[in-house]
Amino acid sequence: MDIPQVTPTETAPSGDMGQDYLATGKQVAMRRWEASPCGWADMRTRKYETVGYVIQGRLEIDLDGETATLHSGDSWMVPEGAPHRYRILEKLVAIEATSPPARMGNRDATES
């Protein structure tokens, strides 16, 4: 079997927001977040859909005016273009998948 991409943790490229970019395909990409507790991030929208899974920690997400608290084992989805922001409540480790891939075409650039 030919595996087109293997991304070891030690060599995963990092983004400007602290994310580690993992495997990236044409339609979907994964990234890993590790973050310390902090206040609310700025409200923003993105040109991609995001699904995420909390491995460790706790965070709040404000999605289009509604707030939810996520714990270890919880997952979430942010539709493309939806106003949202995060607040980390406990040291966080999470995995996200973005479609189309966030790291391509400058999609990770901050918008509104």
Domains and their CATH numbers in the chain? 29-111 (2.60.120.10)
Q: What is the pLDDT of residue 3?
A: 54
> What is the model's pTM?
0.83
Reduce the DSSP state of residue 77 to 3 states and report it: strand
Q: What is the pLDDT of residue 64?
A: 84
Kindly state the DSSP code that residue 103 receives in the 8-state scheme. T
Q: What is the pLDDT of residues 20-36, one digit of tens each?
A: 878 888 899 999 999 99
pLDDT value of residue 112: 45
Tell me the pLDDT tens digit for each residue of 67-105.
999 999 999 999 999 999 999 999 999 999 999 988 776
> Could you tell me which residues come within 8 angstroms of residue 27 by beta carbon, excluding any fewer than 6 positions away?
99, 100, 101
Four-point Cα dihedral 18, 87, 94, 108, nearest 10: -40
